[in-house]
Structure 1
Amino acid sequence: MMPLWQRPIDLEAINAVHQGTLMEALGIEITRITDTALFGTLPVDARTRQPHGLLHGGASVALAETLGSVAANLAAPPGWMAAGMEISASHLKSVRHGRILGCARPLHLGRNTQVWEIRLEDEAETTVCVCRLTVLLRERSSSSAP
């Protein structure tokens, strides 16, 4: 069986790439990578709440897409990159404070596409959102970002 990750795993380097981006602005952090999954967190605070004081659904989707995209790129063959095609989210429970933990796991790793399931949980380990991300694999051009 081929290993899931096709690139070196360096959490510090992965998080450093997110400086100056939406991920940094929202406080998203990749926290752990195992043999079969990628994990990250999102704070529930003034940056990520909607006017009613609840976690904004868009912030949940931003976390899910970040985790799925990072995972997809780490799982892509050398010389290839993953680009998001579609994401869906089912918001199951509201959250007012704390941190959200997300876990991305592959459902399909094909030659041209990958499908990832991303589950988001609150600090009580209750599932608050389930997302599915589909990405397209394409050869990395010399002008593509890392």
Structure 2
Amino acid sequence: MTLLPPDLDPELVDRIVNTKGGSLSVKMGIEFLELSAERSVARMPVEGNQQVIGLLHGGAHVVLGESLGSISAAIHAGPGRYAVGIEINATHSRSVTEGWVTGTCTALQLGRTLCTHEIVNTDEQGRRLSTIRITNLLRDQ
């Protein structure tokens, strides 16, 4: 079950929850656990998202981070607005070969036109695997 703020736009909730944040998130096996503009959490299996030597692919870390950051930015943008990613970076600190990775997204700046989130991906023991930062531009529809 995904925890959502009660005042979320129903159309946004439908897009996030019913489509699981988009087809790439579905293909990666991402499960959204908590979603808000200030803090979001999701998890992703290592299995199926590995590079040829068995490590979780670095791009998979970024997909988890961008999924969380973009959804959090869209929630902050609110009805009649949307978020567009304009910058993302990642630092990989530790590898993982099995289990689940949890991404915790925290807002660094929530403005009218820009917002920035930091996502920390951890393994099942709580060890930091990667740190992703994303900045989204907020636009009117």
Instruction: Give TM-score scaled by structure 2 length.
Output: 0.86
Hey, what's the Cα distance between the residues in 1 that align with 2:116 and 2:18? 25
Unaligned residue ranges in structure 1 (runs of 5+): 141-146
Deviations 1:100-124 (A, max 9, x none): 0001111011111100000100000
Partner of 2:46: 44
| Cα distance in 2, alignment partners of residues 117 and 39 from structure 1 | 12
1:86-125 to 2 correspondences below 5 Å: 86-125=87-126
State the AA in 1 paired with 2:100: R
Instruction: Give the aligned residue type for 1:90.
Output: T
Q: State whether residues 37 and 72 of structure 2, in contact with CA within 8 Å, keep that contact through their aligned partners in structure 1.
A: no
Counterpart of 1:58 in structure 2 is 59
Which stretches of structure 1, 4 residues or more, deviate above 4 A after TM superposition? Answer: 8-13
Q: Could you tell me whether the CA contact under 8 Å between 1:113 and 1:135 is conserved in 2?
A: yes
Alpha-carbon distance in 2 for matches of 1:113, 1:19? 21
2:66 aligned counterpart, secondary structure: helix
Query: Once superposed, what is the RMSD of the aligned Cα atoms?
Result: 2.4
Question: Cα 1:67–1:36, aligned 2, differ >3 Å: closer, same or farther?
Answer: same
Please report how far the alpha carbon of residue 31 of structure 1 lies from its aligned counterpart in structure 2 after TM superposition.
Answer: 1.0
State the 1:12 CA deviation.
7.6
1:58-112 deviations in Å (ceiling 9; x for gaps): 0000000000011111111321111111110000000000000001111011111
Deviation at 1:35, TM superposition (A): 8.1
Q: 1:13 to 1:100 in 2, by over 3 A?
A: same
- Paired residue secondary structure (1:22): helix
1:73 is paired with a residue of what secondary structure? helix
Q: Give matches, 1:128-143, under 5 Å.
A: 128-140=129-141
Q: Is the 8 Å Cα contact of residues 114 and 135 (structure 1) preserved in structure 2?
A: yes
How many corresponding residue pairs?
136
